[in-house]
Amino acid sequence: MALNFNPSSVFDVFPFLKSVPQAEWTAAQPRVLTYPSQARIFQKEDAANYGMFLLRGTVRITLIEENGSESLLTLLSAGEVCSLLVLCGLSDRDYPGSLIAETEVEVLFVSKSSFLSWIQVQPTIRNAIFGGLLDGMIRTSRMLQAKHNEPLEARLAKALLRTTTDTNPLLHITHQVLANEIGSAREVVSRVLKRYQEKGWVETGRGWVRVTNRGMLEAQLGDLVTEA
């Protein structure tokens, strides 16, 4: 859904964008869109036309492999800019993955030419963007390390707890996508979810998982982290 562009609300999340002159905002053709959870909001072909700023919510950044499978690279939160998007724009290369809404999200799109010009010409914006790239690289490295070091059950529990709440316990996601996110195989994730269901911690169906006992998942997560 398209929303009216409100500079003050954008500046609350990205204060460094205040340095952009009004005339350049007009040329950038800004538009704010909202997407529901699990919507695909940015793909390979979009990188040729747009820059993107996440105003609200959380987004999964995935890499698309040659065989068509997707793997989770990192998560993007409100106030952050996708490092892949910036690097692809500066190097004039195709975007190698997609961005998928993990929660309902609100996104600001601007023209690619304006986006790149701001990075190159505005020191405040350049420093903020590249500082964010460094933070993103560190976070991605930590996520990859956790995939190797944490037990599968811990990674799965974290994913389920992070993407649900007490008031919204239903997650629309397939076992394959969950497996991609935590770095495992679909069959393994399905077995663990079946075990959780037998214990009464979750309910599952085709394309969805509902957390029914967050306390037990959190307790198990604590036990697994302690043991690790």
Q: Could you read off the pLDDT of 92-139 as tens digits, one per residue?
A: 877 787 888 988 999 999 999 999 999 989 999 999 888 887 887 777
Q: Are strands 58-64 and 170-171 parallel, antiparallel or unpaired?
A: unpaired
In the predicted model, what is the mean pLDDT of residues 192-221? 91
Comparing 209 with 181, the larger pLDDT belongs to: 209
In the predicted model, what is the mean pLDDT of residues 54-58? 93
The DSSP code for 30 is: -
Q: What is the pLDDT of residues 162-178, one digit of tens each?
A: 888 888 899 888 898 88
Cβ partners under 8 Å of residue 23, min gap 6: none
- Percent share of the chain, pLDDT over 70: 87
Phi and psi for 135 in degrees, rounded to 5? -60, -40
pLDDT score at 1: 58
In the predicted model, what is the mean pLDDT of residues 172-186? 84
DSSP, collapsed to helix, strand or coil, labels residue 117 as: helix
